[in-house]
């Protein structure tokens, strides 16, 4: 986020999440609602949409059920004569504990702080898609 006030709000949300965990989820949703106008002002459609989808998800579920974005697995070396698979296998994260929920939501918030990085943009798109599908 380019806005200093927006960044301060994200950092505040991360601190609340670290202190109170999932018990503070309603405060996190409210903070995301306060953050959305900053994203609108910056004319960043992905950040705006992810922010809205995240607080709507939290309001509807009273938790955060979106896992960390998948990481590409390291493709095994092929033996002579083996065919190369068409798609690289993905390591898919799952949400099983409140710790997983906190880690995933904290990671999403950190992406919002530095969304110009190409890898971060890809992960923001992954969160957007996962939130839309949930």
* Contact (Cβ atoms closer than 8 angstroms) between residue 94 and residue 57: no
Give residue 76's pLDDT.
45
Give residue 131's pLDDT.
96
Give residue 95's pLDDT.
82
Q: How confident is the model at residue 73 (pLDDT cuts 50, 70, 90)?
A: very low
Over 70: is that where the pLDDT of 82 sits? no
Q: Spell out a b/e string for 16-41, using b for 16 or more CB atoms within 10 Å of the CB, else e.
A: bbeeeebebbeebbebbbebbebbee
* Contact (Cβ atoms closer than 8 angstroms) between residue 6 and residue 109: no
Tell me the C-alpha to C-alpha distance, in Å, between residue 30 and each of 13, 26, 36, 74.
10, 6, 10, 39
Report if pTM > 0.75.
yes
Q: According to DSSP H, which parts of 3-117 are helical?
A: 4-20, 25-41, 45-61, 98-113
Q: How confident is the model at residue 87 (pLDDT cuts 50, 70, 90)?
A: very low
CB neighbour list of residue 47: distance below 8 Å, 6 or more residues apart: 1, 39, 112, 115, 124
Chain position carrying tokens 């999440």: 17
Which segment of 10-14, 19-23, 80-84, 103-107 scores lowest on mean pLDDT? 80-84
Query: Tens digits of per-residue pLDDT, 10-36?
Result: 999 999 999 999 999 999 999 999 999
């Amino acid at each position: 986020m380019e806005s200093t006030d927006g960044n301060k709000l994200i950092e505040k949300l991360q601190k609340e999440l670290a202190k109170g965990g999932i018990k503070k989820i309603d405060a996190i949703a409210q903070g995301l609602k306060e953050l959305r106008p900053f994203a609108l002002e910056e004319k960043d459609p992905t950040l705006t949409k992810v922010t809205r989808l995240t607080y709507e998800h939290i309001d509807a579920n009273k938790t955060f059920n979106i896992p960390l974005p998948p990481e590409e697995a390291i493709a095994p070396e092929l033996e002579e004569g083996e065919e190369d698979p068409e798609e690289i296998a993905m390591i898919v994260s799952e949400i099983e504990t409140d710790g997983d929920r906190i880690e995933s939501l904290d990671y999403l918030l950190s992406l919002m702080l530095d969304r110009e990085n190409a890898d971060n943009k890809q992960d923001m798109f992954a969160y957007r898609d996962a939130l839309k599908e949930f």
